[in-house]
């Protein structure tokens, strides 16, 4: 009967990095999940704050001076009070969907921010403020902590499986 018990016992490799660092993975996963929650909550609060902030801007009518289709970013140039400016928030999808609006010589309405930049949408003016920049920092941090939490929790699960000797059968 003692030989039968020896067959059923699982051999744990003491040099297994998952088992050796299980406590560290567990601590880091808890910290990462807490930070993910804080960053996610802060991102939502900042998104609401940015959308509801009052930004000094004015809606102005301008003429299209030229359009340049770029590979990463399209450029739309406008004339306002005799000077040429670029619309800041034009991405590659907008020129395709607004081809009738972005024809040279057409008059369009844009938003001019307090610092003299031009935007096609009011929401772009709001997200190009310092509060909008803080929002984007927390948004990127949320994504980073989500990935880190996922990785660390999977390491803890793998360590528990290896301690118990639960491995997938070969060929699966």
Q: What is the largest CA-CA distance in the chain?
A: 97
Q: Where are the domains of the chain?
A: 15-52+131-164, 57-122
The CATH class that applies to domain 57-122 reads mainly beta
pLDDT tens, residue by residue, 45-77: 999 999 999 988 899 999 888 887 766 667 888
pTM of the model: 0.73
Q: How far apart are the first and last CA of the chain?
A: 32
Write down the pLDDT at residue 98.
Answer: 54
pLDDT tens, residue by residue, 24-38: 999 999 999 999 999
Q: CA neighbours within 13 Å on the CB side: how many for 125? A: 21
Distance separating alpha carbons of residues 74 and 89, to the nearest angstrom: 9
DSSP-assigned beta bridge partners for residue 63: 79, 107
Write down the pLDDT at residue 102.
Answer: 72
What is the β-pairing status of strands 75-80 and 57-68?
A: antiparallel
């Amino acid at each position: 009967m003692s030989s039968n018990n020896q067959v059923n016992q699982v051999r744990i490799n003491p040099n297994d990095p998952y088992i050796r660092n299980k406590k560290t993975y567990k601590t880091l996963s808890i910290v990462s999940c807490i930070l993910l929650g804080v960053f996610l909550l802060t991102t939502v609060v900042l998104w609401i704050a940015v959308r509801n902030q009052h930004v000094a801007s004015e809606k102005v009518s301008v003429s299209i001076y030229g359009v340049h289709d770029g590979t990463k970013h399209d450029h739309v140039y406008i004339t306002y009070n005799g000077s040429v400016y670029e619309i800041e928030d034009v991405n590659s999808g907008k020129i395709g969907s607004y081809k009738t609006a972005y024809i040279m010589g057409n008059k369009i309405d844009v938003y001019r921010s307090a610092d003299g930049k031009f935007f096609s949408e009011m929401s772009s003016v709001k997200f190009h403020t310092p509060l909008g920049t803080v929002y984007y920092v927390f948004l990127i941090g949320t994504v980073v902590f989500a990935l880190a939490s996922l990785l660390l929790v999977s390491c803890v699960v793998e360590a528990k499986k290896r301690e118990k000797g639960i491995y997938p059968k070969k060929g699966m």
